[in-house]
Structure 1
């Protein structure tokens, strides 16, 4: 079953809430999580997770939609403004609104708005996932040490026996693992194997020649023959 996204509705006009609710009921993948004429109640509900996307009017007594948007800044919750006053559209987009619907709301515009908000939400979730996937606990010689590292900050990896050294800009860590096992399962990593004993952060490559890679910190890393073709493939569509 496809995921259903819950939508919160805030508008001081009951008729507008009814209209939006009826339209959302006709759009697959979305359902009304809550609807209210009280902006403070709506703000509380969206912050408590009763909906993932918010549609709000701009002009509301006591707490307007623009103020609601400011209070939700940094939460990753996509906001759609629905107003009879198109002069607020610019202000909405300046606050990074996902969409602006001009009242009265019609099916086509609400559908476009919700699908735009969904893409924005999924992009935000993916970025958050990337951050979580990059964080790893160190498994040092004494077992799990409790220390965490961000894989994206690694400059290069170097394997010796069953220990892999993680080289950072100003530090290095030692992990009890083969290079193969360390790289296995990293979903959002810029680390690319370039030698049986080395992997490098591909974003930090300064120069590539036939047998050697120079990183931006001028560290020289050997380039194995069997890994050269894969590296060339990566850069094949990035040649100026």
Structure 2
């Protein structure tokens, strides 16, 4: 699984679609595809996966971006950002009815595109859908310490971009004062959030609190040495109070 956020663009003006795609790729996102109509977009979604969509409201043909939005909500349950050159009350009200995660006005700049995508991810995967579409015209920064969960992974922020980190890649999490270190198979992420904030977002059948300062992914344990869990050459302590319950989970006799 790629660690990049995948974005599907549904835009019937080829030059605009290409421009958006280049902007997104320069920002470190992965453009899943560029499609210019509703029917092909639905067919694509039936056969492929994406994390988020950018959808023009005014698509050519009998079906508009509003129609696609309704289908996304009913069948695919994905976040989407509306693109539009219209900001009148009628258009915004119609858009509000299908609950986009954000609303991006044309023409836009790089920062507005990035903030709209981050805002949409935050609104959807953070389970904080706005009452009205949030219009990105004067961009503001989102909180830096945002942890977003989707079904099989976390979106973790590093520098200026989200990385998609599958649960299977996470080894253990470690509390260090008011910070949490997330150790994965590839790198370590540092968040100025307490360990409890992560415990609530991780599947309890796989991630177990083994110590006041450690949560481990039991599927990635490579060995046990007394009251210590091994992850390759790395050691994680186990509190005596949880040792017996943990060993039952691991089917150790």
TM-score of the two chains, using structure 1 as the length reference = 0.49
Which is higher, the Rg of structure 1 or of structure 2?
A: 1
Structure number having the greater helix percentage: 1
